[in-house]
Chains A and B, each alone.
Chain A
Amino acid sequence: MTVKDAPGGYTDFHPRWYRRPMPVFWWVRRRSYLAFVARELSSVFVAWFVAFLLLLIRAVGQGEAAYQRYLDWAANPFIIAVNVVALGFVVFHAITWFNLAPQAMVVRMRGQRVPPSMIAGGNYLAWLVASAIVIWIVLA
């Protein structure tokens, strides 16, 4: 079909837009990109933790022997290694999440914006309190 014949004077085929191809591993080139991907990957370890927690709940529900088997399984060096890495990612998630909170929450009090450092501080305080409660409940 020529340009003249086409409805509206256009062909059905327009040129493909030029897009610079991006390498799959574009994110290893810069620290900030790597931090972005590390933050995204932390979600995988959050999901792993849920699986790990559900196995614990199941074992606790099944009784004393199952709980002991769970503790033995969790003491396997490979599982410990996975959990140490997971802990690193989850703490990274928590820190980056709380640091971002002031940007997501703009709180005003008496017409004044509450300073971002106070909002971040409040989040860290909540983290401390929640962690203390968890540890107290588990160990009490």
Chain B
Amino acid sequence: MAKQRAEPFLWLLFSAGGVVAALLVPALLLLFGVLFPLGWITPPDHDHLRAVAAFPLTRLVLFGLCVLALFHWAHRFRYTLYEGLQLKHLHRVIAVLCYGGAIAGSAAAAYLLTAGL
């Protein structure tokens, strides 16, 4: 019962995470994952990046991005395992691992964006 009431809320998180991931992740991944490592663009220096990251609005956006993107993953991956690999009988373990992972990641993000910066 409780699970059925949680489902619309989880779907909302999934959907919000999908929007945020679609809007922000490609540009960030292109810069930090591909262009900087390949040396095509010089990465920003440490002081600039730290100043940007420590700005309150950036912290908030980064935290929201991490939390929503993680719950987006948790929800979608849960169904990938259920249907793609036909593991429906393991639904409890899978749900705990997916949402537990998202909660752990969100806690890590909260710590790194407050005490860590």
Contact = CB atoms under 8 A, between A and B. Distances in A.
B90 to A, nearest CB: 14
A37 B66 contact: no
A52 B113 CA distance: 14
Q: How large is the interface on B (under 10, 10 to 19, 20 to 34, 35 or more residues)?
A: 35 or more
A94 B80 CA distance: 18
B8 interface: no
Interface in A52-79: 52-54, 56-58, 60-64, 67-68, 71, 74-76, 79
**Interface of B (DSSP majority class):** helix
A63 B116 CA distance: 10
Given A53-B62, A80-B34, A130-B24, A46 B73 contact: yes
A3 interface: no
A131 B112 CA distance: 24
A24 B37 contact: no
A contact residues, range: 35 or more
A51, A94, A126 interface centre (most CB from chain B within 10 Å): A94
Interface in A10-53: 22, 24, 27, 37, 40-41, 43-44, 46-47, 49-53
A44 B73 contact: yes
Contacts of B15: 104
**Secondary structure call for the A interface:** helix
Nearest to B87: A24
Residue with the highest number of chain A CB atoms closer than 10 Å, among B19, B25, B79: B25
A97 B22 contact: yes
10 contacts: A37-B80, A40-B80, A46-B17, A47-B70, A60-B46, A83-B34, A87-B34, A93-B22, A97-B22, A130-B23
Interface of A: 22, 24, 27, 37, 40-41, 43-44, 46-47, 49-54, 56-58, 60-64, 67-68, 71, 74-76, 79-80, 83-84, 86-87, 90-91, 93-94, 97-98, 104, 126-127, 130-131, 134-135, 137-139
